[in-house]
A and B are shown apart, each in its own frame.
Chain A
């Protein structure tokens, strides 16, 4: 498990104020919340530690002001953290000098921004080719590569359009194409769909899933939308007041929220699409029964709800090898679907 860690943050703090480093050392590296207030500092990120594994989609979510955007800016070193350490592919990211950082951004990182961050004076193709251009790639090669990216995000035919001539969804497609043009190892997305209308947002989420199935990038994704998080995430980290409250799978979060704050988020989550049969089934403890019409333990409860609810008896559950794992009753699935506490 340890060798597939792509990014590793340990005890990361980001403090804003007159002299953040002095403030941190004065308080022994862990100031109390009162100290922030009394000395006029803001702790945007407080003692955050987590790993990002290769190939996973890690979603960091929280309300505005929770520090999630600052976290992503620390990992990309758009803003340097005040204290803490960041390992990127096994080397100390904070030790990289400006030139090395530029090289890392040119080849290993891609980022998508909430308000797209497109260059207004360049057309679509030239925006997408921009990261390649600053690397010094020649015109023909970079345009060929950019063209591939433009086609990939479905904007073929609009190469010569300028950002202001495109809709929000189209602009974000350009932003996505640009961030992928350098074939980054890690893909950062900072609330990429938050500025879009709900319908377009859903469409772009599907597009994102399609791209990820093709590209299998390591992804750090920021959002304030819990539903979006559960739809896309392998793991979700919830932030509140600069701290990481809980970081786990969506299912764990729905079934075992760490505190009331997380529970509040999880309350309206689409449980039918998050919770799997295995997590809510009743263990049989060695008892045996027929596996006729059995359901898969990995299936989401929403997919099997009709079958379970219309069956007169609890439905048998099998694991991946087809062996009996347990059973799921009508009562149990109802509780699971409608969020009863005692599961």
Chain B
């Protein structure tokens, strides 16, 4: 039977080999011709350096010109970028003062406060009506007042102090109080950021409001960690960037998304830009920003805002398009103007999708803010980068954990809020205090902790001696990790070296040995098969013009080698896990929550275990990519299997399939298009991660970006970034076209 089957397969192969219309025949022809050309001419093997078109130089010149000479009519580009920097710096300064620098509120012009209150009030009015708008404005006034408490107390104290002469002896004890108050307030005015206790408890109350006690406890523990390990100030530096970037990204994304749904022309222009942006790795955003804006917090903010905006725009488009037509039509029939329709019908009706978009924005923002440490952004990422570069693994672990915990807090709270906010149900009549219990407790807590912070320094910021975990513990941890990794390295090194020398390097060399003509040719044949001439022109055109002509071929092949190797491992791990999860709900629960957690981690974090295990080198790079990129392979396999109609599976069982036959002959073939979409995601994430692994070596496109950063070499960085995006887009289009074709054949959608 099996002999017959293999005979059949061989026959089929032979048939296809000699059929000029088969993919196999055409691909083989391309390989033979390409290799032959490679033997004959050197240029067909490796693109000659002399033929490289100096696009990188042109781009660098363009940026230099933009920076130095270009004008936009009345003002120069330089002035324009400076203005943007200045405008972004204002809210950042304010959050920084509030969260960790400390300052007097009157340093901010009253006009800024009025502007903030007005804008927030208008937004709240549009979204939630007049009552909530009043609450928001009152809240902001409250913040200003609380912020001014020391001055108020100070004045009262001063006023009282004039009086003691008139006071009888009996109350001199009391008259001491104003003096204390004055002293405390005067000293408190020097450092007046929001105390850590206020923020931690505030998060706890927020957590309880949106998700109950469990979430509250999780949040308090996670945020508490930041305080008791002495990482509070760094955390708040990171957090203040997030706090400023998120509203910008979210509002711009919302606006762009709305625009796309309203105007076909906008959709035509913006959608491909978003596709390109999505395929471009984090790191690539940094180069042009550094060239135009320099290094530091503000450029980090700009890169972050640009990077984190597309998911919000996508979610907005999705949200508006998925509002049931009955609801939109009922809004129009109620006599809504287009603006009323948007603000009162479409956006609120799709609130959940929008809030999940916000969640994505926040997570992307945090990931990007951490990576921005490469361009000198302060905060946890900066510390982590420093520790990694020094191989201070104990510190790195503590700082990495801080980033992860912050990510978990932000993720869980926004997700819980998205679910809570769209879970509409009526209230039984309640008193004002019951309705606003959380707000009241919050304001009470705030008043108490802030007042307490005037007297007890540790409420504001834990002093070194009161930390639960301090740098000595980190050193201890460092030693422990080093001991273990040193102990392990004896085992690990031979394995690492074996895999590297006997598996990875030969593979890399093989990839590099393939003439570019063969690679481009095979790509063209595949593209033509999947999507005709348009796709062929797109993929091979991109490959030639963005990578080959530019002189990035070798780097791109190395990137491809990292990603493809990681991909094989991801699929080998991810697909079986997905299948297993689809078999058992208990397993599914564990695996899926594991995926959730892995997805929450900012990408930078994945370097940590790789470095601990393998230090630097190719195996370390692949080890960093795999856990990050496996998640979609698992998820899509699981979903693909779960979405198979029950009837199909039942029919297979009724036809007498064994469980294994059922899987191989029915379920997997039907689920393959879905699984391939997961593979697609895996490739995208792998590409994004290879860029970040530039920190631990590799001669790939990511490394090119990384090297372009300190020298502000715009052309080099931009073209390397576009190269990675190109690889991503090629994979995406090929797999997308294939999956569409297959889905059509299977009649599933």
Complex contact B424–A117 (CB within 8 A): no
Complex contact B335–A78 (CB within 8 A): no
Complex contact A162–B329 (CB within 8 A): no
Sorting the interface of chain B by its residue count into under 10, 10 to 19, 20 to 34 or 35 or more gives: 20 to 34
Complex contact B333–A109 (CB within 8 A): yes
- Whole-angstrom distance from the CB of A126 to the nearest CB of chain B? 9
Q: Let me know if A325 is at the binding interface, CB within 8 A.
A: no
Main SS of the interface on chain B?
helix
A162-B426, A165-B426 are known contacts. Are A117 and B327 too (CB-CB below 8 A)?
yes
- Whole-angstrom distance from the CB of B419 to the nearest CB of chain A? 14
Complex contact B333–A105 (CB within 8 A): yes
Complex contact A118–B425 (CB within 8 A): no
With both beta carbons as reference points, the residue of chain A lying nearest to B336 in the complex is identified as A134
Q: Let me know if A102 is at the binding interface, CB within 8 A.
A: yes
Q: Let me know if B139 is at the binding interface, CB within 8 A.
A: no
- Whole-angstrom distance from the CB of A97 to the nearest CB of chain B? 13
| Residues of chain A with a CB closer than 8 A to B326's CB | 113-117
Complex contact A162–B349 (CB within 8 A): no
With both beta carbons as reference points, the residue of chain A lying nearest to B429 in the complex is identified as A160
A113-B326, A121-B348, A164-B424 are known contacts. Are A78 and B334 too (CB-CB below 8 A)?
no
Complex CA distance for A102 and B341, rounded to whole angstroms: 11
Main SS of the interface on chain A?
mixed
| Residues of chain A with a CB closer than 8 A to B332's CB | 78, 105
Complex contact A106–B424 (CB within 8 A): no
Tally A residues with Cβ within 8 Å of B: 38
Complex CA distance for A179 and B329, rounded to whole angstroms: 12
A105-B335, A135-B335 are known contacts. Are A118 and B426 too (CB-CB below 8 A)?
no
| Residues of chain A with a CB closer than 8 A to B344's CB | 119, 130, 133-134
- Selected from B335, B422, B425, B427, the residue in CB contact (under 8 A) with A131 is B335
Complex contact B333–A119 (CB within 8 A): no
Q: Let me know if B351 is at the binding interface, CB within 8 A.
A: yes
With both beta carbons as reference points, the residue of chain B lying nearest to A103 in the complex is identified as B335
Write out, one digit per residue, whether chain B residues 375-398 have a CB within 8 A of any chain A CB (1) or not (0).
Answer: 000000000000000000000000
- Whole-angstrom distance from the CB of A254 to the nearest CB of chain B? 33
| Residues of chain A with a CB closer than 8 A to B345's CB | 119
The residue among B334, B351, B422 with the most chain A CB atoms within 10 A of its own CB is B334
Complex CA distance for A119 and B422, rounded to whole angstroms: 12
Q: Let me know if A178 is at the binding interface, CB within 8 A.
A: yes
Complex contact B330–A117 (CB within 8 A): yes
With both beta carbons as reference points, the residue of chain A lying nearest to B427 in the complex is identified as A160
Complex contact A121–B424 (CB within 8 A): yes
Write out, one digit per residue, whether chain A residues 167-193 have a CB within 8 A of any chain B CB (1) or not (0).
Answer: 000000001001100100000100000
- Whole-angstrom distance from the CB of A156 to the nearest CB of chain B? 15
Complex CA distance for A107 and B334, rounded to whole angstroms: 9
Complex contact A117–B329 (CB within 8 A): yes
Q: Let me know if A123 is at the binding interface, CB within 8 A.
A: yes
Complex CA distance for A102 and B348, rounded to whole angstroms: 21
Complex contact B333–A76 (CB within 8 A): yes
- Selected from A76, A123, A133, the residue in CB contact (under 8 A) with B426 is A123
Q: Let me know if B324 is at the binding interface, CB within 8 A.
A: yes
Complex contact A111–B426 (CB within 8 A): no
| Residues of chain B with a CB closer than 8 A to A134's CB | 334-337, 340, 344
Complex contact B337–A102 (CB within 8 A): yes
Complex contact B334–A178 (CB within 8 A): yes
A160-B427, A162-B424, A162-B426 are known contacts. Are A119 and B327 too (CB-CB below 8 A)?
yes
| Residues of chain A with a CB closer than 8 A to B333's CB | 76, 78, 105, 109-111, 179, 188
A-B contact pairs, 9 of them (CB 8 A): A116-B326, A117-B324, A120-B327, A122-B348, A131-B335, A134-B337, A135-B335, A162-B424, A178-B330
> Top 8 A-B pairs ranked by shortest CB distance?
A117-B330, A106-B335, A117-B326, A131-B334, A162-B424, A111-B333, A160-B426, A105-B335
Add 13 more A-B contacts to A123-B426, A130-B331, A162-B425 (CB < 8 A): A76-B333, A102-B335, A111-B333, A117-B324, A117-B327, A119-B327, A119-B345, A120-B349, A120-B422, A121-B349, A121-B424, A130-B334, A179-B333
